[in-house]
Chain A
């Protein structure tokens, strides 16, 4: 996570792929292949993590709870843990391919159902927060790079760094304490809200205010810092001097010439840091009891529901990898230098 402070040189060096004949298709295929390898790694890791690591799975599940040997044997049988490891893996793979992530131990429903049920709230929260954070971050980053070293630059970069290094959950708790009573402290909707769409939507929005602010505060910094350093790299470029020499106004030079070029590497880096957003979502959902995948992860770890934890791990990690492959392909499509060839 520390690479946010010096991200661009490294990424820029790697970002523009070599343009050879037929490069575009080859590039896309390489990226998709890489994504597939990563997906396979996630699947294997998801399996190994919960089977092979020291600490017996059954022991872990029953830790701190009274359990008779029969109960433990029954659980072992039910989870298929008495079979050879390789057979277990094939079993797991086969069921995974059919969208079956096993049975949640605590909720006693299929893990897939539980995850699908919690997907909506997480997408809503993370989506809205990311949109706001990207807009805010890009705007602040552009402004502070354009006036590098100014008071605005120093203050906004300082604030962003401070918020970025604050523990997310603590920020959420502070917001809760500071606005006590103004906003709901937990959940997504009151149970006694009228069932019509408008009242429901308003209530959800009311519940969303604090979690969204918290998440935005923690993640917008990365967009701002990446945009700032990416634009700084472009500042010395000759085409900006040309644009100025043509007599273009300052803000036109910025909007039409500098920003579009600086945006390209930012897109990839933004997706590269998506794991950070997920981490933020876990903390935020826990503090505000927002019924999404993050809270589900917390619930799963609290009661040591290993199938559920495995499911959330595979789904969250898989989603992040998928988004990254999409970003890589998108990058290729967006870059006019590549499109033309």
Chain B
């Protein structure tokens, strides 16, 4: 029998670490519930074209009456033009989740790069980058996002950009702090002494050590991004196409159509509750992940 290659050993070690981590994650009920909810919602959103008819979103082909209360045909009632609120909520999940995920990835990517660079290079780079980070951290991000989405073309891309560009500072600070503690360890010094360059040290040693924390932060940040999306859409900065509703733009229509005064609770509640459930699910997953991956919490 030949000895396994270092690469295979490394993979086996990762597999074992993953299995141990999963076992720890699975021991937390809230984390499992959150994960289950998320899988269910993502599945529903992805499968929306197969389990429902997109034509139902077309305002010219709406079959229901004006703001009908829930009935057998429309389990959650209809909106002002007679579209099914259930269908709208289902399709709204697609845009809201997409914006939530992509905006968070963008913001985490910016935050990770800036955080690692600031910690790795130190001195002037660090001072400059952290000055900018602190500036964006304090800046009222909604106001900046409003300004950005007003100037750019209206649409999903703009909203993603606006959220991503305004929400990265907390990730940058977290990553910087983590990178600083990692870089103080002897194995980084060893790597440098053996001739490892900046790219090698960052790519092979710092990044893998920082990633778990980044992952936790991502999970927690998606919820905020979805809430931010709903706020921007509510203010009228979302995609104007009625065939691509999001939960935020649904609430905007409900508001503009005076659903509050008409007492059309079936129009008002589903999008908001959907947002609440998704945010809660992400928070539950994030907290459970944090307990698994953050050594500081594990000790305590």
Contact = CB atoms under 8 A, between A and B. Distances in A.
Interface string B139-164: 11111101110111100000000000
A67 to B, nearest CB: 18
B293 to A, nearest CB: 12
Given A165-B276, A174-B272, A279-B231, A5 B140 contact: no
Interface stretch (B46-54, B55-63, B199-207, B217-225): B217-225
Nearest to A170: B272
B142 A54 contact: no
Contacts of B36: none
Given A165-B223, A177-B263, A50 B151 contact: yes
A297 B236 CA distance: 12
B143 A279 contact: yes
B193 interface: no
B224 A2 contact: yes
Interface in B222-274: 223-224, 227-228, 230-231, 234-237, 248, 251, 254-255, 260-261, 263, 265, 268, 271-272
A183 B167 CA distance: 36
A321 B150 contact: no
Given A3-B174, A165-B223, A272-B138, A173 B231 contact: no
Given A9-B296, A162-B280, A313 B167 contact: no
A13 B135 contact: no
Contact of B220 (A5, A37, A286): A5
Interface in B112-159: 131-132, 134-135, 137-144, 146-148, 150-153
Interface in A152-186: 161-162, 165-170, 173-174, 176-177, 180, 185
Contacts of A310: 147
A275 B141 contact: yes
B260 A176 contact: yes
Contacts of A298: 235
B interface secondary structure, majority: helix
A161 B131 CA distance: 30
B143 to A, nearest CB: 5
Interface stretch (A69-77, A195-203, A301-309): A301-309
B140 A180 contact: no
B276 A53 contact: no
Interface residues of B, number: 57
A320 interface: yes
A23 B109 CA distance: 37
Given A174-B272, A279-B143, A321 B138 contact: yes
A283 interface: yes
Given A3-B174, A165-B227, A301-B237, A38 B134 contact: yes
B139 A162 contact: no
Contact of B283 (A165, A272, A278, A282): A165
B83 interface: no
B137 A50 contact: no
A287 interface: yes
Contacts of B236: 301-302
B177 interface: yes
B147 to A, nearest CB: 5
Interface in A298-341: 298, 301-302, 304, 306, 309-310, 312-313, 316-317, 320-321, 324
A10 interface: yes
B88 interface: no
A118 to B, nearest CB: 14
Contact of A316 (B143, B148, B173): B143
Contacts of B214: none
20 contacts: A2-B170, A3-B170, A3-B174, A9-B296, A50-B147, A55-B151, A165-B223, A165-B224, A165-B276, A167-B248, A169-B255, A177-B268, A180-B261, A185-B261, A275-B139, A301-B150, A306-B151, A313-B146, A317-B140, A321-B138
Interface of B: 131-132, 134-135, 137-144, 146-148, 150-153, 167, 170, 173-174, 177, 217, 220-221, 223-224, 227-228, 230-231, 234-237, 248, 251, 254-255, 260-261, 263, 265, 268, 271-272, 275-276, 279-280, 283, 286-287, 290, 296
Given A9-B296, A282-B235, 10 more contacts: A5-B286, A13-B177, A161-B283, A162-B280, A168-B231, A177-B263, A301-B237, A313-B146, A313-B147, A317-B144
